[in-house]
Amino acid sequence: MQPSSTLKRPTRVRHIVLAMTVLVYAITYMDRTAIGSAVPSIQKEFGFSLVTTGWILASFRWAYALFQIPGGWLGDRIGPRRALTLIVTWWSAFTAFTALAWNATSMIAIRSVFGIGEAGAFPIATRSLSRWMLPSERGYAQGITHAGSRLGAALTPPLVVLLITTYGWRAPFVVFGALGLVWSVLWFVYYRDTPDEHHGVNPAELELIHSASGGPRQPVGAAVPWKRILTSSTLWAVCAMYFCYQYALAVYLDWFPTYLKDHRGFTLKQMGFYASLPLLAGVVGDLTGGWVSDVLLRRSGNVARSRRLVGMAGFLIAAAGIIPATLTGDPRTSVAFSCLAFGGLELTVGVSWAIPLDIAGDFAGSAAALMNSVGNIGAAISPALLAYLVTGYGWNVPFLVASGLCVVGMLIYTRIDAGRRIFDAPPSALSPAAVTARPAHQQAGS
């Protein structure tokens, strides 16, 4: 007689967990990019210069970069259920508190504390998926989560403009903060740190997850082996690549709406629409990059090549697209090429975040935190440096610098080997059979 687990179709609780993670990624980007669309209104009220505004934008990113590792450690130490509930509540409150700012100093202080809260979001979310997603679902899972973040960012400019024109620039921060508080309650109620703890997971899904990952995983609270993590040459190459990515990303997230209004001559309402288009292209890039990487992995079983090819292609498209977007004299043509560039840039994201899962396993949260910390140093340098570059040389130079860094990112990707694990893995987790073991209907539904 066959075991009952083979007679029942596996449940899809892991996909509900993935959907909740997609939603929180969207919320993170709604909260952090709202200020980009509100900058013209904030500058008008307070009289902030371009350089002052640049430092306000950078304050979030410096705090975000510096607290990545503590945030990732928190997720590995107390588990994603409690950690994400805690930090989403924290940053949602300070998103709303942005509306209370009365000068540049208070704005910098509030945005910095907000950045501390958001710092753990992506590393802990990555950790939350590490015990749930199959190896052959990781690229797609990271692609769709980051697509969610870019969709949230794409929806933000028109929503912010609508709220600003109706209620003033403070309203978006209050509304978005409340949304995060609701999510944190739902997460704490539904999510569990391991599939074994979740009452909705049937034996067939549990068997599927365990067979692909090599059996039950390390308990929550296991000591993080930082020496092994910090001596991984592969991880440091990923960090350097992500520095290039994050610098270029921050140019678009923090300054693109202002660029369209001040340099390209769009009105506030036009800005709300056109600023969202590259972000929508980024959604396509995120979904495509993760999906293509997983298809290549299932066909070849070569994780290093499947991650590397997609990452290199994305950076190349981004570098090439930024140049005509910058040099054309037509505003709408500039937006069109910006869509190409940003879509290419986002092709790299799913595979970049899949690599910590590939090489670090149960300690993916800490590995991803290191990657995101170094990457966000680039993002922290970007806003203030852009303000100085624009003041001294005009708007073209910052975008051409971003294009050059995309070329550097592509070259670094040639050195990244996602098959070189930091820790030994059970053979069943790495074998070609584990990559292709799930049924066809499960592959299609990822």
Looking up residue 316, the CATH number of its domain turns out to be 1.20.1250.20
- For residue 292, tell me if it sits in a domain: yes
> Model confidence at 217, in pLDDT bands (50, 70, 90)?
low
**For residue 1, is it within any domain?**
no
pLDDT tens by residue, 253-301: 888 988 998 889 888 888 888 988 998 898 888 888 877 887 888 888 8
| Residue 220 forms part of a structural domain | yes
**148 assigned to some structural domain:** yes
Query: Is residue 239 one of the residues assigned to a domain?
Result: yes
Q: How many domains does the chain divide into?
A: 1
The encoded tokens of residue 312 equal: 């290199």
Tens digit of pLDDT for each residue in 31-59? 888 888 888 889 888 999 888 988 998 89
CB neighbour class for 287 (10 Å; exposed up to 12, middle 13-18, buried from 19): buried
**Nearest CA-CA partner of 412 in 243, 186, 162:** 243
CA 355 to mean position of chain CA atoms:
13
175: confidence class by pLDDT, cuts 50, 70, 90: very high
Which residue spans within 201-310 are E strands per DSSP? none
Say yes or no to pLDDT of 331 above 80.
yes
Answer yes or no: is 240 within a domain.
Answer: yes
The SS3 call for residue 354 is: helix
Classify residue 4: in a domain, yes or no.
no
What's the Cα-to-Cα distance from 310 to each of 179, 345, 410, 422, rounded to whole Å? 34, 11, 10, 22
Q: Is residue 2 part of a domain?
A: no
Range of the domain at 231: 9-444
